């Protein structure tokens, strides 16, 4: 992968993994995924209860680093429109196929990056599961700034997150580069979010719920 950008290298790696991705996940991944889905569902259900969608055509959920659509497809019935973005065409292809097989017409999957989501228009809730750690810490901060600029009322982030620093490096940072919970909390609050829930799955995995300060 010499000469490739980091993002292109991740895209190529996930293209190669796409066929087996859905069968290769750990119990910790599933726990994190379920927490992201539950928190996002609860936030979407607040609509109508004193909370209004940003667009007249209803609520939009944007799922970044959507992969094969685990979060996006689980929440298809909860928002009027669900938009999935990823850098890997192989993963997106799987996500589209699953949407077709399930007859879900309100979800669309296209190329987009954390720092260039390629989505115009109002977004109510942003989700991301197990993907932001592919950026380095400065990139994560930039991505959080990009998400905040979309002005969602909440961002639900599940990821590899260090709640305690490991004694030995647990990952190759060119592939997986988790931030500490402190770094993410700073980046989220600096971008104008308030942390309303922190869920630790393990010392290295968790979910942060960030809501826009009113």
Task: Note the residues at the interface with ligand SAM (CB under 6 A).
Answer: 7, 10-11, 14, 33, 64-67, 70-71, 86-88, 91, 113-114, 129-131, 134-135
The per-residue b/e assignment along 14-32, b for 16 or more CB within 10 angstroms, e otherwise, is bbeebeebeeeeeeebebb
- Closest CB to ligand SAM among residues 51, 110: 110
Nearest to ligand SAM of 55, 111 (CB atom): 111
Alpha carbon 43 to its chain's center: 15
**Minimum distance of ligand SAM from residue 161's CB (angstroms):** 14
Q: Which is nearer to ligand SAM, 53 or 156 (CB)?
A: 156
Exposure pattern of 44-71 as b/e (b: 16+ CB <10 Å)?
beebeeeeebbeeeebbbbbbbbbbbbb
Q: Which residue, judged by CB position, is nearest to ligand SAM in the bound state? A: 67
Nearer to ligand SAM, 75 or 191 (CB): 75
CB closer to ligand SAM, 35 vs 71: 71
At its nearest, how many Å lie between ligand SAM and the CB of residue 64? 6
Contacts of residue 214, Cβ cutoff 8 Å, sequence gap at least 6: none
Give whole-number Cα distances, 167 to 16, 164, 180, 181, in Å: 31, 9, 14, 16
Of the candidates 200, 163, 166, 202, the residue with the CA atom closest to the CA atom of residue 182: 163
- Minimum distance between the CB of residue 214 and ligand SAM, rounded to whole angstroms? 28
- Residue 94 Cβ vs ligand SAM, minimum distance, rounded to whole Å: 9
Smallest gap from residue 69 Cβ to ligand SAM (A): 8
Measured from the Cβ of residue 83, the count of other Cβ atoms closer than 10 Å reads 24
Tokens linked to 114: 């954390």
């Amino acid at each position: 992968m010499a000469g490739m950008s980091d993002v292109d290298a991740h895209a190529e790696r996930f293209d190669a993994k796409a066929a087996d991705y859905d069968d290769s996940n750990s119990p910790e991944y599933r726990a994190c995924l379920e927490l992201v889905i539950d928190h996002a569902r609860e936030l979407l259900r607040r609509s109508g209860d004193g909370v209004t969608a940003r667009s007249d055509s209803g609520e939009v959920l944007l799922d970044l680093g959507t992969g094969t659509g685990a979060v996006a497809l689980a929440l298809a019935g909860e928002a009027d429109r669900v938009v999935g973005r990823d850098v890997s065409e192989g993963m997106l292809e799987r996500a589209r196929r699953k949407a077709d097989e399930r007859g879900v017409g309100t979800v669309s999957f296209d190329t987009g990056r954390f720092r260039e989501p390629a989505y115009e228009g109002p977004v109510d809730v942003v989700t991301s599961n197990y993907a932001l750690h592919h950026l380095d810490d400065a990139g994560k901060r930039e991505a959080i700034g990009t998400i905040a600029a979309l002005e969602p009322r909440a961002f639900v982030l599940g990821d590899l997150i260090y709640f305690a620093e490991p004694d030995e490096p647990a990952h190759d940072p060119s592939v997986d580069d988790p931030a500490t919970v402190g770094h993410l909390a700073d980046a989220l609050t600096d971008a104008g979010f308030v942390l309303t829930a922190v869920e630790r799955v393990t010392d290295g995995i968790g979910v942060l719920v960030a809501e826009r300060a009113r």
